[in-house]
Amino acid sequence: MELLNGSLSVVTHVFIAALLLVYLPVSLVWRLLRWVLVRPLLKEDMTGKVVLITGASSGIGEQLAYECARRGASMALAARRERALETVSAKARELGAPDVLVIAADISNPSDANRVVQATIARFGQLNNLVCNAGLWCSCFFEEITSITAFTQLMDVNFWGSVYPTYYALPFLKNTRGKIVVNASMGGRVPTPRMSFYNASKAAMIRFYETLRSELGSDVRITIVNLGYVASELTKGKAVQKNGEVAVNQEARDILVGPLPIGSTEKCAQLIVGGACRGDEYISWPSWYKPFHVVMSLAPEIVSWFSGCFYVGKASSEPLSKRMLNVKGLKRFLYPASVLSPGRVVDEIHA
């Protein structure tokens, strides 16, 4: 057996190296031609289509609803906060959505996830696109946690909150040869300190949907979205704290985001919907995050070293990310006004 494993190790390395030498040049040419000639022709017409969006009460989910509305889609909007959903629904109708269904639900609960899908089918009779967008963040070191069991909610919302609706929606999506759009994160690719459970949940999402994509083939297309920092409740500081409670902590947010620019939610939604309509398998935005994928594959120790220097720091001083952000005027230049003032997020947490 040891001889067989040794032989397979040699053969596999040689075979993969030879395959890449042949495949990569051909692939690069094909991608370039596809980008220039084919990609512009692959735009899906969303008029008359039905889209189910989870986590649609604010942030990226809210803007995705507006972008789909502008393209003429009917939609079902799901989240816990019904009043906020009603506000989003009203604006979506103004922007062109023929019909909007509001469903108050905890998408991390399997019975609620099933109810959301069934209500969508009962209302519209079909489902063309599922957008899994619900999410929770965390912003503390693992060893600082005082209530470890409370952090299961991150996996429940981020991972199972996508898997459950996918499971129940899949038969209907196959009927329409529809699409699944999953809001994962760069955190699923890059091990950022203070975000251990968040990163783990997003990594699980990425691998799950990559596997599901290989199982479904062309029956249902899957777009995995890996975002950096985008204006939302998360970048306003809403996160699971070390005691397990969900609260706004802008001090921790400043350390995690640091001097990195926070992207526009509206621009993000446009890119996601446009990419999904073209059938893109991955969407990474802002695009300057993409090289980190390569570095993680070829030299992961560089990413680990940088993350430690940038986000951890010494016990006696603030992390480098926070010290850089403290430069006068930099935060107001890099962060949108909506992120600097948590406003509604604080009110709803304490309501």
Q: What is the rounded CA–CA span in Å between residue 246 and residue 20?
A: 46
User: In sequence order, what are the beta bridge partners of 225?
Assistant: 183, 283
Q: Mark whether 66 is an active-site residue.
A: no
Asked if 225 contacts 242 with a C-beta cutoff of 8 angstroms, the reply is no
Q: Are 347 and 233 in contact (CB under 8 A)?
A: no
| H/E segment holding residue 284 | strand 282-285
The first and second tokens of residue 106, run together, are 């905890």
DSSP letters spanning 42-84: -PPP-TT-EEEEESTTSHHHHHHHHHHHHTT-EEEEEES-HHH
**DSSP assignment string, 120-168:** HHHHHS---EEEE-----B-S-GGG-S-GGGGHHHHIIIIIHHHHHHHH
Q: Identify the active-site residue in 66, 198, 209, 311.
A: 198
CA 73 – CA 202 distance, rounded (Å): 28
Per-residue burial over 36-56, b = 16 or more CB atoms within 10 Å of its CB, e = otherwise: eeeeeeeebebeebbbbbbbb
Active-site residue set: 198
